[in-house]
Every structure is written in C-alpha cells, then in structure tokens.
Amino acid sequence: MLPVDMTPEEMRRIMLAEYTALRGEITAFLALQGQFMNYSIVLSGIIAGLALKSEFRDTLQAPPALAFLPIPFLILGILYTDVRARVLRAAEYIETELRPNLPFLGWESFIRKPHKLTKFWSGAEHLRSLIFLLPVSIFVFLLIANWHNPGNPTKPSRELLRWIFVGLDGVLLVTGVWSWARLESYAKTLQ
C-alpha cells in the first residue's frame, strides 16, 4: 500500500518502477521455462543415444530403469508449470493493480484482447507440454511392454525399486497434469 501523502507524480514513478521490475521478472521466468524445455530435449537425446548403444540397451530396457526414466521429465514439467504460474501471477498483478492507474500501458491491454494468433498461442502452449509428456509416454509404454520380459527378468531385490519408481511416476504425473489443468483454467480467467 502506497502512503497517502505522496503526490500523484511520485506514485506514478513508483508504479512504473514496479511495472518495470515485474516485466523483468516475467522475462527471467520465460527464459527459465526455455531452459526447462532445453533440459528435457537434451535428456531425451542422451537417453536415445544410450539406447542405440548395445551395451546400454539391456540396462535401459530393465523395468526399474524404465520406471525411473520418466521422473526427470515429470519434474521438469512440474517446474515449467510452476514458473508459468509465477508469470501469470505477475501478469495478473500488472493487469489488475498497475494498469488501472497507468492507462498508457498499451502492451498489457493489447495482449489480453482477442487476436488472430490467440488460438495458435494456446495450441503452442499445449505442444510445449509434449516436450515433457512425450518421453514419459514412451517410457511408460516400454515399461508396460517389458513388465514381464522373460529375456530380461527383474531380480527380486529390484522389484521393490521398480514399484517405488512406478509409484513416484504416478504421483508426479497426477501432480503435473493437475497443475497444468488448473493453470489452464486460471489463464483463461485472465483473458
């Protein structure tokens, strides 16, 4: 809350400084989202490269390994969603608290108006989720396909490990999908 004894010009300068700081924060968050996507792509490439080498193929097809491999992608997806929530929170503050007092902030008004690319941007956001969910889907499919692989039996000591990873996969997947869905409905209220 701003002190009441400030002149309108002082209040305007403070709000503009706050706006600048929030736009910088949003830019930093967008860069962080890009890093999470890059990590997911690089990790996918590393795993694909290892899968092509015969000495790693059997290890990667073992059910405990297949149950573990989705975990980094799910964590990256959840982190991506967390950062997206922070971007939306900053954008909402700009829109609801600053823009009414600074009507000349044209960009903030412009990005909330329907635009001919609005559906494209929404679709692109959904495609970004595939950077995290596609590897998870592949590993879960391979895990199911290799669950009872007679050529690659799971040792009893690793059976518990496999179930721990499968449980963690489930918890992270539900958390990620729930977070993404909640964020999508929240984002729609801002437009």
In which band, very low, low, confident or very high, does the pLDDT at 155 lie, cut at 50, 70 and 90?
low
Higher pLDDT, 53 or 175: 175
On whether the CB atoms of residues 26 and 87 are closer than 8 A, the answer is: yes
Q: What is the DSSP letter of 101?
A: G
Cα torsion at 122, 127, 129, 132 (round to 10°)?
Answer: -170
Neighbours of 84 (CB within 10 A): 23
Percentage of the chain lying above the pLDDT 70 cut? 88
Residues 6+ apart with CB under 8 A from 92: 190
Mean pLDDT, range 16-29, rounded to an integer: 94
Q: Residue 128 corresponds to which tokens in the numbers above?
A: 């970004």
* Prediction pTM value: 0.82
Q: Mean pLDDT, to the nearest integer, of 91-96?
A: 88
Residue 34 has pLDDT above 90, yes or no: yes
Q: Measuring CA to CA, which residue among 118, 96, 114 is closest to residue 105?
A: 96
Give the SS3 label for residue 150.
coil
pLDDT tens column, 50-64: 888 777 776 766 777
Q: What is the mean pLDDT of residues 73-98?
A: 92
Distance, in Å, from the CA atom of 82 to the CA atom of 174, rounded to the nearest integer, reads 15
With a cut of 60, say whether residue 152 has pLDDT above it.
Answer: no
CB of 77 closer than 8 Å to CB of 129: yes
For residue 77 the two structure tokens come to: 């997806």
Least confident of 17-31, 39-53, 76-90: 39-53
Distances (CA, A) of 121 to 49, 111, 126, 132, 146: 32, 11, 9, 18, 38
Range with the lowest mean pLDDT among 94-103, 143-152, 157-166?
143-152
